Amino acid sequence: MPEGGTPAGCLRAVHLSISVEKSEWGMPQVDYLGHKVPQHGLQANPKNLKSLTTLEFPRALKGLQSFLGSLNYYHRFIPDSAVYATTLYALTESDFGEYETTPGVREQEKRRHALRAFEILKSKLAMTPMLKHFDTEREPVVIVYANDWAIAAVLAQVRGDVCMPVKFTSRCLKPNELNYNIVEKEILALLRALNECFAMQAGQTVRVLTRHMTLVWLFRSKGL
């Protein structure tokens, strides 16, 4: 670090200035943009999550879109968020109208799945874990998951005997990806984790945990 690694030296090196009178030093935790940043990790601020975890299922598409937008802001804290959010993204304005007027069996079934996904996502929001800061001295571990309509992965590192999460990531599958076999979908999940967390994993050996041995065989292939 420049100038012996002092805070003032680091700031001067990148041409930043601060107001000493408005600054606080040696804080064990900082609140920033809906997050809590303690010494050892990153947390979603429970106060900001309360309005989401107590929300009733929206009666209109606009309200649902607002919920999904907030969910996306905290997606890095939510395991498999896209696995459940896909059901909600599939709803249209007509789905709300049909249920309010003459709900048939199909509409009731769709509504039931949407309500279940909505409640699961709220419970996941209420239990968001602390994400540990990435430690360059520890081996990165990527755990992948895929189903018929979404992929998910978590970047983690072993601390003690436990894999502690650094970041969760997931997304819905694109139409052309829905017909991929499960191994191909897990590869998509792995590529997403490697791409989103490239700066942290570059130059390191990454351990990948998967449910399918076919993916293990692929990495041992001499053709790679």
Q: For 174-185, how does the pLDDT look when each residue is reduced to its tens digit (9 = 90+)?
A: 999 999 999 899
The pLDDT of residue 22 is 83
Burial (CB < 10 A; 0-12, 13-18, 19+), residue 196, is: middle
| pLDDT value of residue 224 | 52
Residue type, 215: L
pLDDT score, position 107: 72
Per-domain boundaries in the chain: 44-126, 134-220
Predicted pLDDT at 111: 85
pLDDT of residue 1: 46
Specify the pLDDT at position 211: 83
| Nearest-angstrom CA–CA distance, 100 and 95 | 9
Query: What residues contact residue 214 under an 8 Å CB cut-off, 6+ apart?
Result: 183
Dihedrals φ, ψ of 59, to 5°? Answer: -95, 0
Question: Going by CATH, does the domain composed of 134-220 fall within 3.60.15.10?
Answer: no
Q: Distance between CA 41 and CA 46 in Å, rounded? A: 15
pTM of the model: 0.78
Give the chain's residues under pLDDT 50: 1-3
